Amino acid sequence: METLVYGSASPIKVLSFIYFIEGKSPVGNIIEMKHIVKVFPPNVVALDDVGVAFREGEIHAIVGENGAGKSTLMKILYGMQPANSGQIFYKGSETKFADPGEAIDNGIGMVHQEILLIPEYTVWENVILGVEPVNFLGHIDKKRAQEQVRKRIQEFHFNLDPDSKIGEISVAARQKVEILKLLYRNVSILILDEPTSVLTPQEIPQLFDELRRLRDNGHTILFISHHLEEVITLSDRITVLRRGRKIGTVNAAETTKQTLAQMMVGREVIFTSLKEPQDAGNILFEMSGINYLDSEKRPHLKDINLQVRTGEIVGIAGVEGNGQYELVNVIMGLIEPKSGQLKVSGQDITKATILERRKKISFVSQDRTNMGSCVSASITENVLMTHHRLNERFTLWNGAVLNFKEAETFTEEVREKFAVQMDVVDAEFKSLSGGNQQKIILGRELLLDAPFILLDQPTRGLDVGSIEYVHRQILSMRAEKRALLLLSADLDELFRITDRILVLHRGKLVANLVTDETNITEIGYLMLEGKPHET
Amino acid sequence: MKRKLLNSLAGIVLALLLGAVVMLTQGHNPVRTYGALFKYSLGDWYSLTTTLRNSVPLILTGLSASIAFASGPVNLGQPGQLVIGALFATVGGLYLDLPPYLMIPVLILLAMLGGALWSGIAALLKKWFNMSEFITTLMLNMIADYFTYWAITYPLFETNAYFPQTPRIAQSGWLPEWGEFNTNFIVMLIAFIIVWFIFNRTTSGYEWRISGKNSLFARLGGVKVDKNYLVVMLLTGALAGLAGGLVVMAGPHRFLKGLGANYAWDGVMIAMVANSGIIATFLYGLFFATLQSGALGMELITAVPSEIIMVLQAIIVLIVVAGRGYLDILVGKLAARKKMKERAS
């Protein structure tokens, strides 16, 4: 496979050839992975003859759609998973780490998407855990430990207090602690797995500054992402993977978002707003004066008033944990509001059963595996849910017995309509990729023909191609004059497809703006501050 | 499906081999022992009918546990539900006087009612006090045990008996026998078919299966999870109760001390080996009944104690359950290797 790194500069090519003969990597490449193949049982080829070289002191991004093999490649390097074949050269000699511990000892560390720290411990305690400095009695030398951690924090300009408890600091700060933990262990190569996925738009630049400072200090940073914009801003070089194959490595300065997207999905992707102007109709969904307190009397929703009209997509922006979860659960009937009223097409559903609500509401949850599907049931059984009670087509004998033939036909219809890639309808749901799972869920929900559609982060964790597909489906529902409420942490998404954006801050709706008359910065401030930015 | 069958057969063969090793270390001849075991369980018409008859309570309590586990509720109350069902059938048989074509269905329904009542208590405790059925069904087993013991020692005691037992039930309530073949097997078969149909073909059965795997998803999909919980508890209680009723109606025709034996716990064990599969429960029930019926004959003509069957059963459970996970890994690995070879060529 052609790699763009070496190009056709012949001296380097010759040099690399010589080094290849000797089993050594060319100068400047601190890590070289060659012909890596990884097969996940039974027959998923996650990596197909992938070769990448990382230079010392660069920020190197690995991008690709979900399932492209980014994380797998890094886990193989880090010793978390063995490759089926291929070689890894580290500092010129062939290496294979048996486990992450060995990788860390050799100066390679990885920060995972989930943060693994002890919430009751302070920052410095978490950092030294496992490699505690001890005094002559064998006790932890607290003073020295604190001093060392403090020094590291200063050295890298991390805005952290070593004495604060993990449970009391922000997610962004916790992520810094994870990085600090590795730096404390003298790691010189940092692997970051989608580090920005847990951050707010405002926190990302700070992380990037810190990463750049680390690079300038001589650290090598490899980071996995599928956000093209940040990849171009931050990295020096970018390697694109698609379906387990390497498409190429490019210099960030010489590429564009369009080119990268095309490399990632293999075709052109449209980034501009997709929606066509359309007048909204009557009010179809209405929440008035909704308050919700949890069992400890803490308020999570405060006097929520919102309306969605037919043919309108209303977006709800907000940092996670500001009441989105409760809002969704109140609408779906999983929890009961303390006061207020819910109405769909004029009917009061505040106290209705979930089944009653489902006659009027389609729901796509952000939690695909726990709320949106049953992964160990078959695809057909997943498609059938809710339809089995609302759609007479799928039952016989007055609803008592299922019509499996009809259900399977329906699954085939969903497959056709929503371009799902699958082998057989009775395969387990978990055998599908994330994007295909979401298409099935969307198909099931949209074909319920409910007038109101509640979408909770419907594109979370999906790749660029699938996101575009989901957006088109959502917009086609708008064209069908249904009413849609979209909760999303992705501001690009909100700006791309919504008509109005409401901002949820600490359980309150603090803004109601027309999408075309506002901008990302304004919404960003509202999300963080709960009020417009004063200039 | 094929893989499941392979796993089960491999597990059973391996367990028999290990059993042979155990016998050898004890100085017994395994070939002769196994010969006797299968001769006295399947070898002739009499042995075969005995095995079929003994399989009934195992399969019914097994189905009870399988359906409960696969639908979510951890109903471990089969022993209690079985004896209460047996007691209900006995009381009906003692005080009712109906022609057989009415008597038998009535006693069967009474037995099911008894079992359902007993599991229903656990279901209500969950509904009212949010007590886990995992605990309450186990506790109710003890209560049922001593309650029935009291009932046959005092109010229902057969005068002049030397042992806590009731008088025989009216003959119209005895299950007919065709030669050696007891019709309790037919009743069980009908129950099995109905239960299979409910679980695999009806709308409710679909909801149970999905709720058993992911109840939050089911709830959000409009499934009335609470109602289904109650129905499943009642149904599985009724199945265990039916097992008890049939024991009385096919066998001693009375309730005597120790009637429940180990049937229900063996049933729970069968449900586990069968991974809560309905058909698998049926087949394993037959197989375990074969072992248990053959054990007595085996003891009769060889010096091997019948307890060896318990060892054998335990080994089968361990190997099949452990093998289930391992076989998946193995098949996956083999497939991956094949894929690598395909790529290479």
- The first and second tokens of residue B88, run together, are 């209900």
How far is Cα B258 from Cα B168, in angstroms, rounded to an integer? 16
CA distance A93 to chain B (A): 25
Residue A435, domain extent: 375-448
- In a shared domain, residues A512 and A389: no
Contact criterion met (CB < 8 Å) for B217 and A385: yes
A59-A63-A68-A72 Cα dihedral, nearest 10 degrees: 20
- Tell whether A134 is covered by a domain: no
Q: Please say if the pLDDT value at position A6 is more than 60.
A: no
* Inter-helix orientation angle B278-301/B184-201, to 10°: 150
Higher pLDDT, A12 or A90: A90
Mean pLDDT score across all residues of chain A: 84
CA distance B84 to chain A (A): 31
Q: Please say if the pLDDT value at position A24 is more than 50.
A: no
Q: Please say if the pLDDT value at position B55 is more than 50.
A: yes
Least confident of A91-100, A285-294, B145-154, B330-339: B330-339
User: Do B50 and B239 form a contact (C-beta atoms < 8 A)?
Assistant: no
How far is Cα B221 from Cα A332, in angstroms, rounded to an integer? 10
> How confident is residue A535, by pLDDT bands cut at 50, 70 and 90?
low
Measured in degrees and rounded to the nearest 5, phi and psi for residue A331 equal -65, -40
Dihedral angle sign, alpha carbons of residues B301, B307, B312, B313: positive
How far is Cα A519 from Cα A77, in angstroms, rounded to an integer? 41
How far is Cα A57 from Cα A189, in angstroms, rounded to an integer? 9
How far is Cα B93 from Cα B248, in angstroms, rounded to an integer? 10
Q: Of the candidates A25, A70, A78, A22, which has an alpha carbon nearest to the alpha carbon of residue A50?
A: A70
- The first and second tokens of residue A417, run together, are 């309509």
Rg of chain B, C-alpha, whole Å? 22
Q: Please say if the pLDDT value at position A4 is more than 50.
A: no
**CA B3 to each of CA A152, A318, B9, B325: distance values in angstroms, whole numbers, following the listed order:** 56, 49, 10, 12
Token pair 């990597």: residue: A25
The reply to whether omega before A42 is within 30° of 0 (cis) is: yes
Q: Does B196 touch chain A (CB under 8 A)?
A: no
Kindly tell me the burial class for residue B258, based on how many C-beta atoms sit within 10 Å of its own C-beta (0-12, 13-18, 19 or more): exposed
Mean pLDDT, rounded, for B98-109: 94
- In a shared domain, residues A457 and A350: yes
Q: Which of B1, B194, B217 to mutate to test the interface with A (most CBs of A within 10 A)?
A: B217
Q: Does A352 touch chain B (CB under 8 A)?
A: no
Could you give the number of structural domains in chain B?
Answer: 1
Q: Please say if the pLDDT value at position A17 is more than 70.
A: no
- Tell whether B230 is covered by a domain: yes
How far is Cα B270 from Cα B313, in angstroms, rounded to an integer? 10
User: Do B4 and B321 form a contact (C-beta atoms < 8 A)?
Assistant: no
- Tell whether B269 is covered by a domain: yes
Give the type of residue at A445: E
- Tell whether B215 is covered by a domain: yes
pLDDT more than 90, % of chain B:
61
For residue B98, the SS3 value is coil
- Tell whether A63 is covered by a domain: no
Which of chain A's residues have a Cβ under 8 Å away from the Cβ of B343? 37, 45, 48
Which of chain B's residues have a Cβ under 8 Å away from the Cβ of A353? 224
> How confident is residue A382, by pLDDT bands cut at 50, 70 and 90?
very high
How far is Cα A335 from Cα B249, in angstroms, rounded to an integer? 50
- Tell whether B226 is covered by a domain: yes
Nearest CA in chain B to A41: B332
- Tell whether B319 is covered by a domain: no
Chain B segment 224-263 residues within 8 A of A by beta carbon are: 224
User: Do A462 and A440 form a contact (C-beta atoms < 8 A)?
Assistant: no
pLDDT digits (tens, 9 = 90+) for A69-123: 888 899 999 998 888 889 999 988 898 898 888 999 999 999 887 778 888 899 9
Among A94-103, B177-186, B224-233, which range has the highest average pLDDT? Answer: B224-233
- In a shared domain, residues A347 and A460: yes
User: Do A50 and A69 form a contact (C-beta atoms < 8 A)?
Assistant: yes
Q: Does A354 touch chain B (CB under 8 A)?
A: yes
- Tell whether A508 is covered by a domain: yes
- The first and second tokens of residue A315, run together, are 């977006």
Higher pLDDT, B3 or B207: B207
Token pair 């949106």: residue: A372
A377-A380-A381-A382 Cα dihedral, nearest 10 degrees: 80
Measured in degrees and rounded to the nearest 5, phi and psi for residue A189 equal -120, 120
Cα B317–chain centre separation: 14
- In a shared domain, residues A509 and A438: no
pLDDT score recorded for residue A66: 66
How far is Cα B98 from Cα B102, in angstroms, rounded to an integer? 6
pLDDT digits (tens, 9 = 90+) for A114-170: 778 888 899 999 998 888 888 888 888 888 888 889 988 888 778 888 888 888 887
Least confident of A141-150, A255-264, A298-307, B229-238: A255-264
Q: Please say if the pLDDT value at position A2 is more than 60.
A: no
Mean pLDDT, rounded, for A370-387: 91
Q: Using the 3D structure, point to which of A396, A424, A448 is the last residue of a domain.
A: A448
**Element (DSSP H or E) covering residue B123:** helix B100-129
- In a shared domain, residues A274 and A356: yes
- In a shared domain, residues A498 and A421: no
Enumerate the H helices of B154-274 as residue ranges: 184-201, 203-213, 215-220, 225-250, 263-273
ipTM over 0.95: no
**CA A329 to each of CA A297, A332, A483, B117: distance values in angstroms, whole numbers, following the listed order:** 17, 5, 18, 35
- In a shared domain, residues A310 and A443: no
Among A193-197, A456-460, B15-19, B147-151, which range has the highest average pLDDT? Answer: B147-151
In this structure, what CATH number is given to the domain that contains residue A341? 3.40.50.300
Contact criterion met (CB < 8 Å) for B221 and A370: no
- Tell whether A122 is covered by a domain: no
pLDDT score recorded for residue B1: 62
> How confident is residue A453, by pLDDT bands cut at 50, 70 and 90?
very high
- Tell whether B247 is covered by a domain: yes
Q: Does B201 touch chain A (CB under 8 A)?
A: yes
B223-B224-B227-B228 Cα dihedral, nearest 10 degrees: 10
pLDDT score recorded for residue B223: 94
> How confident is residue A274, by pLDDT bands cut at 50, 70 and 90?
low
- Tell whether A353 is covered by a domain: yes
- Tell whether A472 is covered by a domain: yes
CA distance A354 to chain B (A): 5
pLDDT score recorded for residue A466: 80
Contact criterion met (CB < 8 Å) for B221 and A385: yes
How far is Cα A36 from Cα A49, in angstroms, rounded to an integer? 5
pLDDT score recorded for residue A18: 40
Beta bridge mates, A291:
A339
Residue B157, domain extent: 54-286
How far is Cα A239 from Cα A228, in angstroms, rounded to an integer? 12
Which of chain B's residues have a Cβ under 8 Å away from the Cβ of A373? 214, 217
Q: Using the 3D structure, point to which of A416, A448, A480 is the last residue of a domain.
A: A448
Which of chain A's residues have a Cβ under 8 Å away from the Cβ of B330? none
Which DSSP category does A371 fall into?
I
**Element (DSSP H or E) covering residue B310:** helix B308-344
pLDDT score recorded for residue A42: 60
How far is Cα A96 from Cα A77, in angstroms, rounded to an integer? 8
pLDDT digits (tens, 9 = 90+) for A201-224: 777 888 898 899 989 988 999 998
pLDDT score recorded for residue A5: 37
The number of beta carbons lying within 10 Å of the beta carbon of residue A40 is: 16
pLDDT score recorded for residue B154: 87
> How confident is residue A273, by pLDDT bands cut at 50, 70 and 90?
low
Dihedral angle sign, alpha carbons of residues B276, B277, B283, B286: positive
For residue A224, the SS3 value is strand
Nearest CA in chain B to A399: B203
Q: Which of A49, A331, A354, A397 to mutate to test the interface with B (most CBs of B within 10 A)?
A: A354
pLDDT score recorded for residue A25: 43
* Inter-helix orientation angle B78-95/B45-71, to 10°: 120
- Tell whether B41 is covered by a domain: no
Q: Using the 3D structure, point to which of A448, A481, A496 is the last residue of a domain.
A: A448
Q: Does B343 touch chain A (CB under 8 A)?
A: yes
- In a shared domain, residues A347 and A471: yes
Mean pLDDT, rounded, for A245-261: 87
Nearest CA in chain B to A379: B210
pLDDT digits (tens, 9 = 90+) for A393-414: 888 888 889 998 899 999 999 8
Q: Does A43 touch chain B (CB under 8 A)?
A: yes
Q: Please say if the pLDDT value at position B272 is more than 60.
A: yes
CA distance A81 to chain B (A): 14
pLDDT score recorded for residue B112: 97
Q: Please say if the pLDDT value at position B224 is more than 90.
A: yes
pLDDT digits (tens, 9 = 90+) for A328-370: 999 999 999 999 999 999 899 999 999 999 999 999 988 888 8
Rg of chain A, C-alpha, whole Å? 26
Contact criterion met (CB < 8 Å) for A401 and B219: no
How far is Cα A445 from Cα B322, in angstroms, rounded to an integer? 39
For residue A290, the SS3 value is strand
Give the type of residue at A4: L
Q: Does A199 touch chain B (CB under 8 A)?
A: no
Q: Please say if the pLDDT value at position A40 is more than 50.
A: yes
Could you give the number of structural domains in chain A?
Answer: 2
User: Do B268 and B61 form a contact (C-beta atoms < 8 A)?
Assistant: yes
**CA B155 to each of CA B34, B113, B165, B214: distance values in angstroms, whole numbers, following the listed order:** 45, 21, 10, 47
> Could you tell me which residues come within 8 angstroms of residue A119 by beta carbon, excluding any fewer than 6 positions away?
A165, A166, A167
- In a shared domain, residues A485 and A498: yes
Instruction: Report the residue count for chain A.
Output: 535
pLDDT score recorded for residue A26: 46
Mean pLDDT score across all residues of chain B: 90
The number of beta carbons lying within 10 Å of the beta carbon of residue A190 is: 24
- In a shared domain, residues A457 and A437: no
Q: Of the candidates A472, A520, A521, A465, which has an alpha carbon nearest to the alpha carbon of residue A494?
A: A520
How far is Cα A474 from Cα B38, in angstroms, rounded to an integer? 65
How far is Cα A511 from Cα A528, in angstroms, rounded to an integer? 12
pLDDT score recorded for residue A22: 41
DSSP-assigned states of every residue in A41-60: TTTEEEEEEEEEEEETT-EE
How far is Cα A28 from Cα A92, in angstroms, rounded to an integer? 10
Kindly tell me the burial class for residue B191, based on how many C-beta atoms sit within 10 Å of its own C-beta (0-12, 13-18, 19 or more): buried
Nearest CA in chain A to B204: A400
Which of chain B's residues have a Cβ under 8 Å away from the Cβ of A386? 221-222
Which of chain B's residues have a Cβ under 8 Å away from the Cβ of A388? 203, 206-207
- Tell whether B320 is covered by a domain: no
**CA A137 to each of CA A140, A141, A144, B13: distance values in angstroms, whole numbers, following the listed order:** 9, 9, 14, 59
- Tell whether A158 is covered by a domain: no
Higher pLDDT, B2 or B53: B53
